[in-house]
Structure 1
């Protein structure tokens, strides 16, 4: 299956190309080539693990593609209710907004994620052989490296399963054209089982700290794994397990919510705050793509009217009454997303991409508590997050503690305010819509369509979304042409 390897693209070539992409990306091979003499030293293994992270923030030499975070943003936001294409957007952006999902749309390419998966597989397969050649590599350190590879592989498959449904599952490394295989799709449920298994394997091997803040926030720690576990269990409707995973982070005492005036520091001034759990570290060598996407004169996306009208809202009586998040992360006058461009310019855009932060853990726990009948506890957590951000009274749904659906709606709305433009919105909406066999499809997903899709396209969009198969992307035509074992997802056949 050619998804797993661009011809002649080798793992450590990427690490060499992007060796300085972040503060802690230091080790890289001298010649950028994996040969028979590789996997001999702990330094080579460290460089290989570095290559995994590098694949998430940059591109290997000679590869033309979007950055991975651009895919993660579009997959998580373009089908939801908080962004819309501008007049500068291309037809592919506009098609998604109009619920016209085509297999020729390059936004549905999954190659970036499978490229990262292959780097993880390469480490998982080869790392155990290194101690035989380098006895200075301890078993503990080897386990630490393996935990990073298992966890990132799990994270990539979790994105794929939520985005495409059934996807190919490959757990072996592809290092040459001789290793290319054509694979059929694996059911989403089995993909998620593998994700859970990888995370369970990674958790006891992971470090609690690397000894410095940038690494603790930019690399996989045990707390990162717990955050991914909580997210996966919430998606799978395994609420007790979700709460357990959240409590491992909460009880550590290592994380907290930033106060409202400090919220800008989440995404500027180097990031890596006390609220952060895992964020991708952009810097001068590997800049994020978001200034061009959101804020300059050629921006592709802008906020929807709903962002200020109904999500954050405006207090027209008291001008001093503002939701800090709406005032800091959105330029409402220009309809612009500024979350990732605080203190940034087109020539110096280093703001990090947030994968998980403490507010996410709290709200995931609240959602799980609500689904297990603990509405009062869920509301207590929810109001803690609202208070730190000065959420407006107009957005308080004020549900009773027995109103499970009302609290679920309240949490969903608060997640929209809290994680605006962080690539989570569509997944949050779909998770709530599909809960209990799509019991609330109309109240959650179809109501979103009515509020966002252009009126002349609403009925078509509603008809599409009533088919559960439409909630996942089509497989890109390139994959179907190069892997004859793949079958297009049912809605797009």
Structure 2
């Protein structure tokens, strides 16, 4: 059976036990239990929604989000311990057998959401204490998470199967063709529009407001999706819905240590909009991936220091997001997830402290998404003002300041791209940012992809990478071999053959 359907053939949403505000455990049911014995009470519906969040904490899924969003770009380098499949992605030697083309952890979450959306609406007929608004709020969370997962798949694979039916037994499994990029995008927007209408504004506590889908998390997802599809007016409206709420602020950047502690070590800061809530009971995968003694990935320190954050020749200024903030310049440790503290005297997390949150969206992202949209709406000065807000907080040095001409649309768009690199280093956004920028206007800026891809590549493969990137299908990963063998309706991404 295909990996996709092996992971989703038993629903993880049926029996769930909530053991703390941000830790969920799953008990998988036998076939048929979903239909026959579950979905009777609002508590069971709530637990099923909790299961959707629990599946987001899957270590394989989060590792994929890091790999898909970072290692094809320019900010992450390999070590002697980097998995061969990851090295092959970095060098654009990607085969359908590559383990990082396994999308099953994402489809597992999608199926959890499908299960809620298929069986959840009937609970109100069995539990008189469940209100319409409460039911729709639960369904909104499932719609938003499903939309987010498909957004990751769209940007990583391009065309993917649209599975929107719940699969709880092997008998439910059906083979599916790939859907077009446009159809996948339309499904994302449909999910997010439902979520926007019915999601709550607050769950009543800070941790839940950062760890669950609020209306503001939905607005952030919408803004990102609209930006991907060049819908700039809609992106601005979604961003303004967050900005005008007055609920979010940039974490202060007075000192590198306090900035790091509030935003990354502690998490759920005033800047956070949606964060995956790892804790001591649900550790993230980053200890084995990033801690110095066993790290599989390191920062591309020379490129970051010289080209991204810049080096102040006087030695009197430094971007707090750079050396000893996002990464360690002397050994390349990616500090955002590995660090217990930042600064010259930084310390690293121990294995039982590897619970840095995976930040999906935060306020700086909203400001820079809006800035990117504004520059294409000929509102350059407003875009520059937003860029400068983020730069000021990060204490960006003068050397990285770019165009201040409000009418220079392309220059400002590139400025946003560069500032996003400084702000979101290693947060799973860089490759997607580069691809979004490159594909605009019929791939007018294709060169940014190749320039980034060859930064850390061996000299003997640079020309090969440049040649491959001329085919836009190469910008998306292939469908895994196991999927193709199990589902005869699937057709391989044309760049990778049949």
In the superposition, the TM-score normalised over structure 1's length comes to 0.94
Q: Is the contact made by 2:49 and 2:142 (CA closer than 8 Å) also made in structure 1?
A: yes
Q: Is the contact made by 2:15 and 2:29 (CA closer than 8 Å) also made in structure 1?
A: no
**Count of residue pairs the alignment pairs up:** 481
Unaligned runs of 5+ residues in structure 2 are 341-348
Please list, as runs of the form range in 1=range in 2, the aligned pairs for 1:413-452 lying within 5 A after superposition: 413-442=418-447, 444-452=448-456
Alpha-carbon distance in 1 for matches of 2:274, 2:66: 16
Q: Is the contact made by 1:265 and 1:273 (CA closer than 8 Å) also made in structure 2?
A: no
* Residue 67 of structure 1: how far off its partner (Å): 2.3
* Residue 68 of structure 1: how far off its partner (Å): 1.0
* Corresponding residue SS for 2:298: strand
- Equivalent in the alignment of 2:468: 464
Deviations 1:100-148 (A, max 9, x none): 1111100111001111000000000101110111111111110110000
- Equivalent in the alignment of 1:41: 41
Q: Is the contact made by 2:10 and 2:29 (CA closer than 8 Å) also made in structure 1?
A: no
- Equivalent in the alignment of 1:15: 16
- Residues 1:350 and 2:355 aligned together: yes
Alpha-carbon distance in 2 for matches of 1:222, 1:438: 33
* Corresponding residue SS for 1:225: helix
- Equivalent in the alignment of 2:311: 314
CA distance 1:340–1:31, shift in 2 (3 Å): same
CA distance 1:270–1:34, shift in 2 (3 Å): farther
* Residue 454 of structure 1: how far off its partner (Å): 2.2
Alpha-carbon distance in 2 for matches of 1:437, 1:134: 53
- Equivalent in the alignment of 1:158: 151
Alpha-carbon distance in 2 for matches of 1:7, 1:49: 16
Moved more, 162-171 or 2-11: 2-11
Alpha-carbon distance in 1 for matches of 2:230, 2:458: 33
- Residues 1:387 and 2:392 aligned together: yes
Please list, as runs of the form range in 1=range in 2, the aligned pairs for 1:84-483 lying within 5 A after superposition: 84-260=77-253, 261=255, 262-304=258-300, 305-318=302-315, 320-326=316-322, 327-343=324-340, 344-442=349-447, 444-483=448-487
* Corresponding residue SS for 1:123: helix
* Corresponding residue SS for 2:353: coil
* Residue 257 of structure 1: how far off its partner (Å): 0.4
* Corresponding residue SS for 1:413: helix
* Residue 204 of structure 1: how far off its partner (Å): 1.3
Moved more, 193-202 or 357-366: 193-202
* Residue 488 of structure 1: how far off its partner (Å): 0.5
Deviations 1:84-103 (A, max 9, x none): 11011121111011111111
Moved more, 121-130 or 303-312: 303-312
Alpha-carbon distance in 2 for matches of 1:7, 1:128: 20
* Residue 471 of structure 1: how far off its partner (Å): 0.5
Alpha-carbon distance in 1 for matches of 2:180, 2:11: 29
Q: Is the contact made by 1:86 and 1:300 (CA closer than 8 Å) also made in structure 2?
A: yes
Alpha-carbon distance in 1 for matches of 2:453, 2:382: 31
In the superposition, the TM-score normalised over structure 2's length comes to 0.93
Alpha-carbon distance in 1 for matches of 2:263, 2:289: 16
* Residue 342 of structure 1: how far off its partner (Å): 2.6
- Equivalent in the alignment of 2:55: 55
CA distance 1:332–1:487, shift in 2 (3 Å): same
Alpha-carbon distance in 1 for matches of 2:50, 2:487: 30
* Corresponding residue SS for 1:356: strand
CA distance 1:330–1:26, shift in 2 (3 Å): closer
Q: Is the contact made by 2:15 and 2:47 (CA closer than 8 Å) also made in structure 1?
A: no
Q: Is the contact made by 2:79 and 2:297 (CA closer than 8 Å) also made in structure 1?
A: yes
* Corresponding residue SS for 1:325: coil
CA distance 1:488–1:299, shift in 2 (3 Å): same
2:490 to 481, 486, 493: 486
Alpha-carbon distance in 2 for matches of 1:88, 1:451: 20
Alpha-carbon distance in 2 for matches of 1:226, 1:176: 35
- Equivalent in the alignment of 2:346: none
Q: Is the contact made by 1:242 and 1:365 (CA closer than 8 Å) also made in structure 2?
A: yes
* Corresponding residue SS for 1:331: coil
CA distance 1:385–1:471, shift in 2 (3 Å): same
Deviations 1:254-291 (A, max 9, x none): 00101113321344453111100000000111101112
- Equivalent in the alignment of 2:345: none
Q: Is the contact made by 2:14 and 2:38 (CA closer than 8 Å) also made in structure 1?
A: no
CA distance 1:254–1:306, shift in 2 (3 Å): same
Alpha-carbon distance in 2 for matches of 1:27, 1:73: 23
Unaligned runs of 5+ residues in structure 1 are 59-65
